[in-house]
Amino acid sequence: MRQTLQEQRNATVYQYRLVNKIEIYPKLLSAYKIVPFVCIAIEIILFGWNGFLYGLIGLPVMSLLRFILNRLTLLRVDNYQRQRWGWNITLPFMGYSPVSEVKFGLYRKTELTMFWIGLCMIGALFPWIKQSGFFGLLLWHLWLAIPGLIICLRLRKQHYDGIVKLEAENISYYHR
């Protein structure tokens, strides 16, 4: 006998219905692309060559830190889900992010973990990297975290057992 969708445990994404779709507007994406250059220019004016140096090395350092934190969270929470994550170089989901649909609860947990622990680690490095390094790393950390935090904020009233699918044009949230 055929089960209803609510009774099925291992349903595929095709058995889910679209609940919420967040559009990514091209003008907003263009503004998102320009922000790092403006911030690096401000950092160069404020801190000189140190600001330029940390502006250049901040993106790879923060991408690596976010990757390590994400992998540790996935190992702790759900090892199977690691297959659905990979490196992405397209904006706005640059870095280590989901390449296919992923559970919203897991996505929310990894994004919030990366955001808060990343802030704590940058703060802990402050005595050694001075103000220019702090602002450079903070700039890139916030720039990489903002898309994920916006998704978590926009979907905060949705069930955590739903599925999020990140695409270049939109973010889709599915639920049974």
**DSSP result, 98-112:** ESS-EEHHHHHHHHH
Residue 26 tokens read as 């091209």
Quick one: pLDDT band at residue 121, thresholds 50, 70, 90?
Answer: very high
Q: Is residue 87 part of a domain?
A: yes
pLDDT in tens, 53-82: 888 898 899 989 988 888 888 877 766 666
Structural domain total, the chain: 1
Q: Is residue 1 part of a domain?
A: no
* Residue 25 φ/ψ region, left for φ over 0, alpha for ψ in the -120 to 50 degree band, beta for the rest: beta
What integer pLDDT is reported at residue 138 of this predicted model?
92
In terms of C-beta density within 10 A (0-12 exposed, 13-18 middle, 19 or more buried), how is residue 176 classed?
Answer: middle
* Average pLDDT value for residue range 32-55: 90
Helices (H) and strands (E) in the chain, counts: 3, 6
The predicted model scores a pTM of 0.83
What is the Cα–Cα distance from 54 to 45, expressed in whole angstroms? 13
Q: Is residue 10 part of a domain?
A: no
Q: Is residue 88 part of a domain?
A: yes
* Average pLDDT value for residue range 100-113: 86
Q: Is residue 169 part of a domain?
A: yes
Lowest mean pLDDT among 8-12, 64-68, 168-172: 8-12
Question: Domain range for residue 65?
Answer: 20-175
Residues in the chain, overall count: 176
Quick one: pLDDT band at residue 6, thresholds 50, 70, 90?
Answer: very low
What is the Cα–Cα distance from 18 to 148, expressed in whole angstroms? 19
Residue 125 DSSP symbol: H
Q: Is residue 7 part of a domain?
A: no
Of the ranges 13-17, 70-74, 140-144, the best mean pLDDT one: 140-144
Q: Is residue 11 part of a domain?
A: no
Residue 167 DSSP symbol: -
What integer pLDDT is reported at residue 163 of this predicted model?
87
* Average pLDDT value for residue range 36-62: 90
CA angle 52, 28, 86 (to 5 degrees): 70
Q: Is residue 2 part of a domain?
A: no
What integer pLDDT is reported at residue 123 of this predicted model?
92
* Residue 95 φ/ψ region, left for φ over 0, alpha for ψ in the -120 to 50 degree band, beta for the rest: left
